[in-house]
Amino acid sequence: MTWGTRWLSGALFLTLVLAGCSDDSGEATPTTTTVSTSTVVEATTTTTTTTTTTAAPAPDPVRSAIDFSGLAVEPIGDAGAGVAQAAATPDDGYRETEYFVSGTAALYVGPSVGPVEVASTGTPYVTRILVRRPIDPAAFSGRAVIEPFNTSGSDAAAARGMIGPVIAEQGDVWVGVSARWLSMNTLQQFDADRYGSISIPSNGLAWDILAQLGGLLKEGGDESPLQDLQIDRLYMAGYSQNGIDTATFASTFGELSRMTDGTPIYDGYLPLAHAGSMTPIDSGPSALPAFEIVPIGSSDVPVIDVESEADVLGFSHPDYTSDGHASVRRDDSDEVDDLYRLWEIPGGAHVKGPIGCDSDGTSFPLEFFVRAAYQRLILWAEDGVAAPSASRITMTAIDVVSVAERDDVGNALGGVRSPFVDVPIASYQGGDTGSVICGLGGVETPLDANTLGERYDDLDDYLAQFGAALTATIDAGFLRSEDQSAILDYATEQASAAFG
């Protein structure tokens, strides 16, 4: 299990605990919070009502060119301890630096997939970013990834946990952004001395924060926290909660977020494991908004949407229901204004090992598919080589929670085929049972000795079949040749235990 999946189970547990703090209807108990603009915001998981001392102006048309000229960037000093990160070291050629970023942002109204209108402008904010960059400028690829931090925990970075090895291989920059009200609240509770100046009074500011920061990084120059590094290509990625934000930004704000020459600020998007959810455009100062269950919208830059089997199916628990992606899945597209791929991964779980579930979790290595998706996104955006399309997981029933059709050992049919399910030594099923968080997990059931004996002559025969299937999956573009050795090591370890 990677460090990214270890922390993720705890982070998502916090999210679902917050979701469970509700009345019988599933709505959070309303609270009233006064923010710095003298606006009173009533925050619930389903609605946000804003009341001001004067009549609200009519919504303004949305502007395409993003004004980031007023942003101020300041390195965070030595006050406090800071949030613990998987820190870069000189040994891996990277360093990490935290900055405060301040500016003003608009609030928007409209559905999560647009169109939106400007409801108000000029709300001040102060956020923080964490920049991970190559120490040697000559090692820099010209490429950067922005990840809006997952607010399920203390500004978690699940996407980086999965694509980090590719970022390091290529010399990319990674930037984590605190863009939500809960980030401010959690950071200040953790370390008031260091983060006391952060001010994000509404979740609805996230869209301009992400657009403005992206524009500043791409413009470069003395005001950029990267200074000597010029960004040529910029991407956004997120997993789970921040995957939902990434999908929403791509659908609604990507087309609206342009440099002054009209080119897009972001060159591609990697929304991961967002299930059937999209983020409401303005949910005020709420910890867990009521996600909108709609198909992801169109984008004129490439989008690769990767969903584990667990996220495709969804799950239901007496305390919580997660709408699966199957209920809102859409077709792939190569239209000039709609560049989209959906990869559904049979066997994949949202998290590998939630605590306190009825099974021991799963070892299914979803991260290898995510790394391939990131690499294919870059190839699509920069070289015009479209990412491969895959079939969808075959269903016997599609609903809020869907049911997959399975083969003779219990693995789901359809979707992105791989040696893990086509040359099996176990059945992998997305979704576990037990506590509310267990639906995000997975169940791995080893095949018994008789079944293994019917399928394979011995360990060597299994590994030969696995290797051939792995080569086919790499050739199809769903796994990376750079990961071939690591995948074979994983398969050898798993099979050695299975065959005794």
Q: Which pLDDT does position 86 carry in this prediction?
A: 54
Q: Render 212-281 in DSSP notation, one character per residue.
A: HHHHHHHH-STTSTTTT---SEEEEEEETHHHHHHHHIIIIITTT-B-TTS-BS-SEEEEES-TTEE--S
Q: What is the pLDDT of residue 87?
A: 54
The predicted structure's pLDDT at residue 354: 72
Number of domains in the chain: 1
Compute CA 40 distance to the chain's CA centroid, rounded to the nearest angstrom: 31
For residues 309 and 344, the answer to whether their CB atoms sit within 8 Å is yes
Crossing angle of helices 158-170 and 366-383, rounded to 10°? 60
pTM to 2 decimals? Answer: 0.87
Residue 135: count other Cβ atoms within 10 Å of its Cβ.
Answer: 13
Please give the torsion angle defined by the CA atoms of residues 399, 396, 305 and 112, in that order, rounded to the nearest 10 degrees: -10
pLDDT at residue 77 in the model:
82
Given a contact cutoff of 8 angstroms between Cβ atoms, the answer to whether 180 and 203 are in contact is: yes
Q: Which residues pair with 264 in a beta bridge?
A: 258
| Confidence (pLDDT) at 85 | 58
In sequence order, what are the residues at sequence separation of 6 or more whose Cβ sits closer than 8 angstroms to the Cβ of residue 436? 16, 20, 317, 319, 320
Q: How far apart are CA 428 and CA 159, in angstroms?
A: 22
Q: Please, are residues 238 and 154 in contact by the beta-carbon 8 Å criterion? A: no
Alpha-carbon gap, residue 190 to 77, rounded angstroms: 16
**Residues of the chain predicted below pLDDT 50:** 1-59
Q: What's the pLDDT at 62? A: 64
Residues near 176 by Cβ (< 8 Å), separated by ≥ 6? 129, 130, 132, 146, 147, 148, 149, 155, 157, 160
What is the DSSP code string of 304-347? EEEEEHHHHHEEEETTEEEE-GGGT----EEETTEEEEEEEETT
Rounded to an integer, what distance in angstroms lies between the CA atom of residue 299 and that of residue 240? 20
* Calpha distance 202→124 (Å, rounded): 11
Q: How far apart are CA 341 and CA 477, in angstroms?
A: 12
Of 225, 399, 434, nearest to 329 (Cα)?
Answer: 399
CB 471 within 8 A of CB 485: no
Which tokens is 486 given?
Answer: 């690591």
Count Cα atoms within 13 angstroms, Cβ side, for 493: 8
Measured between alpha carbons, how far is 451 from 352 in angstroms, rounded to an integer?
25
pLDDT confidence of residue 16: 38
With DSSP H G I counted as helix, E B as strand and the rest as coil, what are the percentages for the chain, rounded to 5? 30, 25, 40
With CA atoms as reference, report the closest residue to 70 among 178, 181, 209, 202.
Answer: 209
Please, are residues 75 and 98 in contact by the beta-carbon 8 Å criterion?
A: yes
In tens, the pLDDT along 382-412 reads 999 999 999 999 999 999 999 999 999 999 9
Query: CA–CA separation, 207 vs 65, rounded Å?
Result: 14
Give the residue numbers spanning the domain of 312. 3-499
Q: Are 41 and 199 in contact (CB under 8 A)?
A: no
For 3, other C-beta atoms within 10 Å of its C-beta total: 10
CB-based contacts of 429: which residues, under 8 Å, 6+ apart? 309, 347, 410, 411, 412, 442, 443, 445
DSSP string, 127-189: EEEEEEEESSGGG--SEEEEEEPBTTSSSB-HHHHHHHHHHHHHT-EEEEE--SHHHHHHHHH
